[in-house]
Structure 1
Amino acid sequence: MKRLLLLLAVVAAPLYAAAPAGFNDDEIALWAAPVEGGVFEAHRAEQAVNPASTMKLLTSWAALNRLGPNFRWQTEFRSSAPLQNGVLQGDLYWLGRGDPRLDSARLTEMLRQLRLRGVRDIAGRLVLDQSAWQGLGAADGFGGDADRVFTVAPHTHQLNLKVAWLRYYFDNGQPQALLDPPLPGVSVDSRLQAAAGNGSSCGDVRRYVKVVQQGARLGVSGSLPPACDGAANYVNLLDSNEFAQQAFAALWQQLGGSGPRGLALATTPAGARSLLRQDSADTLAGVLVDMNKYSNNTMARSVLLTLGAQYPASGNTFADGERQLRSLLVEHALPQQPLLLENGAGLSRRERVSAQLLGEVLRDALRGPYGPELAASLPLAGEDGTLKKRLGDVGGSLRLKTGSLDNVRALAGYWQAPSGQRLVLVAIVNSPRADKLTPQLDAAVAALVARYQARLAASAAAGL
């Protein structure tokens, strides 16, 4: 009897009364619970905190439930102008609907299809129809990072996530740089020199090159070793409208097409005929993998806007997306507070959620039909994404979305025991010293998993 009582005491693990080791009491919020029910451990779990990129989990959950994992984005080209002898005698309207994974290869295939359908010359303008989204949300407080890729705003015609690549190669021993996709309005002034040495690995090519952007000119300098032949780094160029138009023009010309003559922004005229309509190459489930494993803010914002576009109500796409997320919380009998959304990506100084609310959403996901898709989108500890070099020594399967901002570090996701039991866990640090607390955060998660393993072992030993 004494042995059974001892085992029962171990199984009934107490909730946290204090913060985990290494944290002040008010620096961390934590919630952990078995998928089957109950709460294992919690600390400040109902407190409103900034979740950073773990907010993407709410956006993912809402999109999967409303749109379904097989949802695809649609891109369409229309025109009211006649097609005569291969010449489109007017404007070509590009109806963008925010495909987050639209890239040069996919656009090239669409343009190839236009060529096969008889269009050789676009005598009018390329007109971007952006009417699919009205109201994008915000990401205030990141003005100092405006040239960084992680701050790129969502756009209905977001080609290559508005990122171009500088690709390096050697021609007769001389290093060269070219822009991919080629943008007619951007020139590359390469003054690269060949570096001595025959190392077998380039590593990060940015160690060897300096890129300076001055308007529509890219200056590239440095000493490039031969091992960097084929290496690349990305650059954030132009605004989204110019990027889409210039990339379209370059790809169209590569296919032997002529035009278009200029760029405009307008809504497609009623009655314009469809010249080509294509679904996105990736499903929503595929997009979520890139979005969550690599914490892509632009994709996350696009997903929430897509949700709003599919359920229009107010005329503000972001507000309609948020409305769907909140209505799902009500439908699933989940906590609605505290929750403050600015863009649904966690790229925010203002967004707030509680560890409990985020955890309950994660638990609801695994109980629902799309839990496998959400779990598969999360980085696997020690294996890939933003967790490739973290928490690899934790036993079982640990999948966690990371979050990182000034004064914020966060982890949220799932641990599954080899025997199949699953634990939802959320740990969010809000502190001026958050950037120094990543090791302690990882240690707190590892220790929590170890305690839950001990509970499982004790339960098994007691025959419970």
Structure 2
Amino acid sequence: MRKVQTAALTAASLLVFGGYYGLGDALDLVPGPVTVAYADVAPQPFPTPAGPSAKTSTPAGLETGAPMPSKAALTSYVQAVASDAALAGGGVTASVVDVATGEELLDQHAATGVTPASTNKLLTAWAALSSMGPGHTLQTKTVLDGQTLTLVGGGDVLLAEDAGDPTATVGHAGLGDLARATAEQLKAQGATSVSLRLDDTLFTGPQWSGDWEEGNERFVAKVQPIMVDVESAQEEIDSGQRAGHPDDPAMHAAKIFAEHLSEAGITVDGDASRAAAPSGAKELASVSSAPLSDILSVSLKSSNNTMTEVEGRLVALQAKETADFAGASKAVTARLRKDGFDVSGLTLLDASGLAKGNKVPARLLTQILAKAAGDEGGSAGRTLIADLPVAALDGTLGNRLHDTSAAGTVRAKTGTLDQTSSLAGVVTTADGRQLAFSILANGFAANSGSAVGAAIDNHFVAPLAACGCS
């Protein structure tokens, strides 16, 4: 017992001694590693970053050593589509081009112009990107002449009703923002009331094509240079929530602008009326759209007819043609010819593909896609390919080609009209070969469009993506 007490006292003494010694060490009274004093460390210079020791190389081009699909295999794919029961009474044209070499691997009446439906939008998209550039933006502005304020449409048909969202494409610019900025400028000049005019004279000619079939009103709005979010309006129509677009989309936008102007403290005398802005009017404020590259991503993925018709008119203006159906068709054709595409067999009546009288050769579609995907495509080509719907993922291809080799590997533009079904895009095959393809079916029985689309997917596109057919 005595030994235990002695051991306990010894341990306690050591703990006490250790505690006091640690305190003395911290206060630098006895030797030891612990201290509470600030270390006197001389500042060191910030290191100079060193560049990479090895030279960086430019990205490699397309792999030209990957096996090439055989013409016999590709021909069997398109023949399988043509012989499908859904195609009874109809015909098929098709083209497949190897992107790396430009060689046409499949020619199924590829030079014959046929009704393209919405694959027609590829022509408009290329012409827009090539002539205006992916970074092109559209301005909606206000100008003042005396006591008359004019809202000037510049081609933006994705305007938000109130505040814009700079991170978005749809609703990037807002009518509410424009109204508030305009009100601020008016108040700075001592103005508290104005008469409001709408200038939508950027576009001319008919706002509805005589080449469109009756009943297509629900698929396209009147073609005007200023609208409130035409994409969301179309989505609502497609889902059955609305009866249609506003009867007068441009004036609808002007009325919304007038409401926000009033809320911002500016009295609007009477109703808005239409008139071109006076040449000497002073600009007060403006809002800018998202870049063209983003706008095309919306219109191509959803196959928005109104947006594409607007884009066609913008191409016409760039080419100094009349901003109407005829001018847009002329300008798009001229741009394609200028960029080296063979436009023989091409007939364009609109920009969107709604007109059954449009005639586009399958070869022209693959020419555009092959150039866009290849080394010569530049920023216009890269943008076009990136903006296309992806199989089994988004846009009009979101519900197609699931559980196939094409899922996620095919980017393509769809086309659907009564008795027309088409698809044109690019694919990297299972063998690693990048191909541009187009296939257009026409003249089949009415109401067979869905079955024909499935035949194209199952007999042509999915086997093309899975192709180990060298």
TM-score past 0.5 threshold = yes
The answer to whether structure 1 residue 243 and structure 2 residue 252 are counterparts is yes
Change in Cα spacing, 1:115 to 1:301, as seen in structure 2 (3 Å) is same
Pairs within 5 Å for 1:107-186: 107-119=175-187, 123-135=193-205, 138-140=208-210, 142=212, 144-145=214-215, 147-148=217-218, 150-161=219-230
Cross-structure match for 1:346: 353
TM-aligned CA distance change 1:248 to 1:416, over 3 Å: same
Q: Does 1:41 align with 2:98?
A: no
Which structure would you say has the larger Rg?
Answer: 2
Cα distance in 1, alignment partners of residues 251 and 411 from structure 2: 39
Q: Deviations over 1:239-297 (max 9, x none)?
A: 234312322222323434421422222221121111113321x1111111110111100
| 2:131 equivalent in structure 1 | 66
Deviation by residue 1:114-149 (Cα, 9 ceiling, x = unmatched):
12324496634321122322235753355642651x
The residue aligned with 1:103 is: 160
- Secondary structure of 1:101's counterpart equals strand
**Distance in 1 between residues matched to 2:426 and 2:271, nearest whole Å:** 50
Aligned residue among 442, 447, 455 for 2:454? 442
Q: After the TM superposition, which of the residue ranges 243-252 and 137-146 deviates more from structure 2?
A: 137-146
Cα contact 1:163–1:234 (8 A) shared by 2: no
Distance 1:143 1:292 in 2: 22
Q: Percent identity?
A: 27
- RMSD (Å), alpha carbons: 3.1
Aligned length: 379
**Structure 1 residue 13: deviation in Å?**
3.2
For residues 378 and 263 of structure 1, what CA distance do their matches in structure 2 show? Answer: 39
1:398 aligns with 2:410: yes
Q: With structure 1 as the length reference, what TM-score do the two structures score?
A: 0.73
Is 2:416–2:449's contact at 8 Å kept on the other side of the alignment?
A: no
Q: Tell me, what secondary structure is at the counterpart of 2:412?
A: strand
Question: Which segment is superposed worse, 155-164 or 61-70?
Answer: 155-164
CA distance in 2, matches of 1:166, 1:419: 38
Aligned with residue 355 of structure 1, among 362, 367, 375: 362
**Equivalent AA in structure 2 for residue 97 of structure 1:** G
Q: Which runs of 5+ in 2 are unaligned?
A: 1-66, 164-173
Deviates more, 1:349-358 or 1:52-61: 349-358
Q: Which residue of 2 aligns with 1:171?
A: none
Structure whose residues are more often strand by fraction: 1
Structure 1 CA distance for aligned equivalents of residues 424 and 458 of structure 2: 13
Counterpart pick for 2:72 among 7, 10, 13: 13
| Cα distance in structure 2, aligned partners of 1:330 and 1:319 | 17
Who is 1:332 aligned against?
Answer: 339
1:164 touches 1:234 (CA, 8 Å); kept in 2?
Answer: no
The code of the aligned residue for 2:356 comes to R
The CA deviation string for residues 61-80 of structure 1, in whole angstroms up to 9 with x for no partner, is: 11111111110011121111
Structure 2 match to 1:262:
271
Contact 1:308-1:318 within 8 A present in 2 as well: no
* Residue 32 of structure 1: how far off its partner (Å): 1.5
Q: Which runs of 5+ in 1 are unaligned?
A: 1-7, 82-89, 168-203, 207-231, 460-464
2:441 corresponds in structure 1 to: 429
Equivalent-residue separation in structure 2 for 1:341 and 1:65 (angstroms): 18
**Does structure 2 conserve the Cα–Cα contact (< 8 Å) formed by 1:166 and 1:234?**
no
Length-normalised TM-score, structure 2: 0.72
- Structure 1 counterpart SS, 2:198: strand
Aligned residue number for residue 142 of structure 2: 77
Task: Find the residue that maps to 1:290 and give its secondary structure.
Answer: helix
Q: Show the counterpart of 1:307.
A: 315
Q: 1:374 aligns with which of 364, 375, 384?
A: 384
Which residue does the alignment assign to 1:52? 117
Deviation at residue 438 of structure 1 after TM alignment: 3.2
Aligned counterparts of 1:238 and 1:292: Cα–Cα separation in 2 = 24
Q: CA deviation at 1:162?
A: 9.2
Residues 133-142 or 384-393, more deviating = 133-142
CA displacement 1:286-336 (0-9 Å, x = unmatched): 1111101111000000001011112214x4554443333223332333211
C-alpha distance in 2, partners of 1:164/1:251? 20
Deviation at 1:378, TM superposition (A): 1.3
Partner of 2:170: none
